[in-house]
Chains A and B, each alone.
Chain A
């Protein structure tokens, strides 16, 4: 009888003590704003300082330019053909653990960056694989029937957009179905760059779409970012070289909030509104952008180190629109 009791007690003791011990071993940590290290026996909820992987890779998107399938037309112009597929049933992890129904061009938000040279013929074969009607509306100069507004493309339908690339600059493209705010805020947008014929000076080029997600549909964004994923470039700093020209194509696609902005630390940039002029309009570290307002920023860093860039509308930066440039001292700089 006594042995039975002793056995029961010791087994139950083990039962209660052991999980406690294993828990102590799996204790996790995270860092606070002030740098304090906090321990927890539970789960860490930290999209801010704890790097985590989500489906979409903003690092890849940053410097990925699509020039299309290139061929020559009889009149000597260059033809660039693109295929864009719209979908609206995808659930994407847009911040660690947060799953949202994104509507996409070619499966990502933002859609692929389309790049052409002024005077090229751009031909976009558009397929709508969604459950709703969608279109593609390019900002720029083109015939009315290529504007993607009245030519609704229903589910399963297709349409070919064809126009001459122009004017020079950085432009958005987006779905123009009504209700427009819904189609844009779910993610149907991307960047369209038109290069001047003579080209621009060599630079480390990148694209930043300033966007947000209203995940609880209260017409206020819950998350903001440069290139969709909140805090991504804070966890994965953008590596650039000292003394090298950096050129950023910035497009503001934030819905609901009337403005957005971009502030660069430890430096100023030459700003080319819409990228249509070769002369910068200003030399500054802070530009305010309204909906679909965009431009080109050019700068060089004279010192190495980590430099923040973020919305100086601080609410946006504290909800994810913040990143870091890591300036490295590199021998192998591009001339």
Chain B
């Protein structure tokens, strides 16, 4: 009985010691921000408008803007190439913090010409965004959705399937050569992970308002994606022995999920490039990604090399890795927003990094504890080089 009481009081102490600092924190914040407090009423808050999206419709330019400053603002004027234009703003011109609005500027724009879009707030500050080449916005249609599906297939599914055809070859080679291919896979993926991160950072730098802390957003999402997949992956591999799945299959599955998430990001880039009218760029993107993505098939095939060949399993894994490119192209082409692009690219990067960890473990389990054998080192080096060279095509 006495023992129980002691236990209770110690528990109460524990809770109290956890809560007390928190109470002080709340009190301090209430003091600083509370009514009647002008303690931190220093400096001048400046308005800030971010132009998130510019769409070119039939004789109208539609601009999506967001109030990314610390204070509410009135939007009072729009201009094209620094020349004042009659315009409308919907739903209304008053924007709270983080609120968005659509500015409609009737304008007979010319295809492929650059345009500078300007938005002026009530204090006369002008914010602008440059569009390198005007191109008609894509209207979602079944035909266009089909077109994107075909491109996604070319970029995602077919190259991955072609890559998988190397499986019989990998099967017949010696153990050290097999290690070479596993290491190659790891460095292919490392390249893709860095690539996706870089892309996400670039998009955030170019289009995301400072208030979203672009770099930290990318870092947070990459890490969360990595941790979530790492946790799920470990469970999957652990339970592999219980289910019918073998460990190599589990690893291959994790790789295809990671690559699938990554290919979603690639589809996004292609869809957005077409959507933004950079048609020449997107042709290059398609050819480049197709060659690039063949290597992803090798990545999936490698862990499976020593097991029984299962055509149906390979097809499923290939689809898992390749098909998200189609969904990515739809999202990128029809509902592109920089914010979602950054999120998806970061998720893809996190997934890739997670797969690399699995592959490295796999190599260590296979015998090369220090990862210093000629096969592994040369595999890592060749992977990066191949990726770099094929990436020049994009």
The residues of A with any CB-CB pair to B shorter than 8 Å are 28, 30-34, 36, 38, 40-50, 94-100, 213, 215-216, 222, 230, 315, 318-320
Contacts and interface: CB of A to CB of B under 8 A. Distances in A.
B84 A230 contact: yes
Q: Which of B59, B77, B123 has the most chain A CB atoms closer than 10 A to its own CB? A: B77
Interface stretch (B24-32, B36-44, B101-109, B362-370): B101-109
B202 interface: no
B234 interface: no
Interface stretch (B9-17, B87-95, B217-225): B87-95
B76 A46 contact: no
A242 B238 CA distance: 96
Contacts of A33: 85-86, 106
Contact of A97 (B76, B86, B91, B107): B76
Contacts of A100: 123-124
B123 A34 contact: no
A99 B120 contact: no
B86 A48 contact: yes
Interface string B56-96: 00010000000000000011111000111111111111000
Given A42-B93, A315-B82, 4 more contacts: A40-B90, A43-B90, A46-B87, A47-B77
B91 A41 contact: yes
A213 B84 CA distance: 14
B391 to A, nearest CB: 39
B30 to A, nearest CB: 34
A100 B122 CA distance: 9
Contacts of B124: 94, 98-100, 213, 215-216, 222
A40 B106 CA distance: 12
A319 B106 contact: no
Interface residues on B, range: 20 to 34
B108 to A, nearest CB: 7
A186 to B, nearest CB: 12
A320 B85 CA distance: 11
* SS class, residues of chain B in contact with chain A: strand
Q: Which 9 A-B pairs have the closest CB atoms?
A: A215-B124, A97-B76, A42-B90, A40-B88, A318-B83, A46-B86, A32-B106, A43-B93, A45-B87
A94 B89 CA distance: 21
Contacts of B122: 97-99
A98 B86 contact: no
Given A47-B84, A99-B122, A42 B91 contact: yes
Nearest to B93: A43
Interface in B106-127: 106-108, 120, 122-126
Given A38-B104, A97-B122, A215-B123, A45 B93 contact: yes
A231 to B, nearest CB: 8
A31 B126 CA distance: 23
Nearest to B126: A216
A315 B79 CA distance: 12
A98 B77 contact: yes
A45 B118 CA distance: 13
A95 B77 contact: yes
Contacts of A45: 75-78, 86-89, 93, 103
Q: Which of A34, A98, A315 has the most chain B CB atoms closer than 10 A to its own CB? A: A98
A46 B59 CA distance: 17
Contacts of A315: 82-83
A43 B75 CA distance: 10
A160 B89 CA distance: 51
Given A36-B106, A48-B84, A222-B120, A43 B89 contact: yes
Contacts of B103: 45
A320 B77 CA distance: 12
A31 B77 contact: no
B65 to A, nearest CB: 12
A216 B122 CA distance: 11
A112 to B, nearest CB: 25
B56 to A, nearest CB: 16
29 contacts: A33-B85, A34-B106, A34-B108, A36-B106, A41-B90, A42-B88, A42-B90, A42-B92, A43-B90, A44-B88, A45-B76, A45-B87, A45-B88, A47-B77, A47-B84, A48-B85, A48-B86, A50-B86, A94-B124, A95-B77, A97-B76, A98-B120, A98-B122, A99-B123, A213-B124, A216-B125, A230-B84, A315-B82, A315-B83
A13 to B, nearest CB: 21
Interface in B162-191: none
A38 B84 contact: no
A55 to B, nearest CB: 14
Contacts of B78: 45
A68 B107 CA distance: 50
B19 to A, nearest CB: 41
Contacts of A96: 76
Nearest to A216: B125
A34 B86 CA distance: 11
A96 B76 CA distance: 7
B88 A215 contact: no
B55 to A, nearest CB: 16
Contacts of A216: 124-126
B89 A222 contact: no
Contacts of B84: 47-48, 230, 318-320
Contacts of B93: 42-43, 45, 97
Nearest to A319: B84
B86 A32 contact: yes
A260 to B, nearest CB: 17
Q: Which of A28, A33, A230 has the most chain B CB atoms closer than 10 A to its own CB? A: A33
